[in-house]
Amino acid sequence: MEQENRRWQIALFAGLAERLNTRSLTLDIEASALTVGELKELLKQRFPEHADLISISFMACNQAFAGDDRTVSASDELALLPPVSGGEESGAEEEAPALAERFAIRMEKLDPDEALALVSHPDHGAALVFVGTTREWTAGKRTVHLEYEAYVPMALSEMRRIGREIGERWPGTLCAIHHRIGSVAVGEASVVIAVSSPHRDQSYEASRYAIERLKQTVPIWKKEVYEDGSEWKGHQSGPWNPLASPEHTGEAGN
């Protein structure tokens, strides 16, 4: 039993999984508990050729981001997350089922009207829908399609947290976020954000907040597939820090 407790399982995603050519690491480590910083140092020692990416990746413990000083154990659900998909370089409380419907990750095409209907409220005088689509040209390269991947249970948890943050910052405002995974063709929607509020200023501000916060904290990754290759695109508006306060959310676009 003691040896089993020292067997560490760490899930990998996106570019990190591609680089290490595995979706999960199984490590036999003498310690049964380590700080995240210590665990990442061990990983860098074992995979020195990937130390650069490991250094800027964040550990998730039990589907929540964990800082380097957080103590984790071999029995925790652990995942090492590379930078999430970033931007361009240049009312009354709801019941849990209703809240869950407003935040979704799907393989099929997204419907903006569906998201808008989920935030409809008779006391709201403004509603706004943001649709992020696949563009054909990026930095002089022609995109064939995008491929999205997500750490789904944690991504949904983070999306719901964004909804709660919006409700606290703009009381009465409702938000729905639907994100697609899998292959997304040029012109198709990868993310739909619907917001409604008593007044239009709240809707504009909350919609902007939602997309920037999503790109800061939600573990969803984007691979751009070009005519001559592919590339995982991570957070590009500065160092990725999902533990930073919302006030430090970077300027992000889709």
Q: What is the pLDDT of residue 95?
A: 40
pLDDT at 87: 52
Q: Indicate the domain borders of the chain.
A: 2-81, 96-235
> How high is the mean pLDDT of the chain?
88
Interior angle at CA 205, CA 97 and CA 136, nearest 5? 85
Structural contact between residues 79 and 60, judged by C-beta atoms closer than 8 angstroms: yes
Across residues 213-222, what is the average pLDDT? Answer: 94
Say which residue, 246 or 72, is predicted with more confidence.
72
C-alpha pair distances (Å), 67 with each of 82, 159, 167, 183, 239: 14, 20, 26, 32, 14
Least confident of 48-52, 128-132, 202-206, 227-231: 227-231
Distance from C-alpha of 216 to C-alpha of 115, rounded to nearest angstrom? 22
pLDDT band at 228 (very low <50, low <70, confident <90, very high): confident
Torsions phi, psi for 193 (to 5 deg): -120, 120
pLDDT value of position 238: 58
Q: What is the model's pTM?
A: 0.83
What is residue 93's predicted lDDT score, i.e. its pLDDT?
40
* Residues 59 and 40: beta-carbon distance below 8 Å: yes
- Per-residue pLDDT of 4-47, as tens digits, reads 448 999 999 999 999 999 999 999 998 989 999 999 999 999 99
CATH of 96-235, one of 3.30.160.20, 3.40.50.10490, 3.40.50.1220, 3.90.1170.40: 3.90.1170.40
Select the more confidently predicted residue: 106 or 227: 106
Per-residue pLDDT band for 237 (boundaries 50, 70, 90) equals low
Q: Report residue 248's pLDDT band, with 50, 70 and 90 as the boundaries.
A: low
State residue 2's pLDDT score: 45
For residues 78 and 61, is the Cβ–Cβ distance under 8 A? yes
The answer to whether the 2-81 and 96-235 domains have the same CATH topology is no
Matching CATH number, 2-81, of 3.40.50.300, 3.40.30.10, 3.10.20.30, 2.120.10.80: 3.10.20.30
> Which pLDDT value is given to residue 236?
55
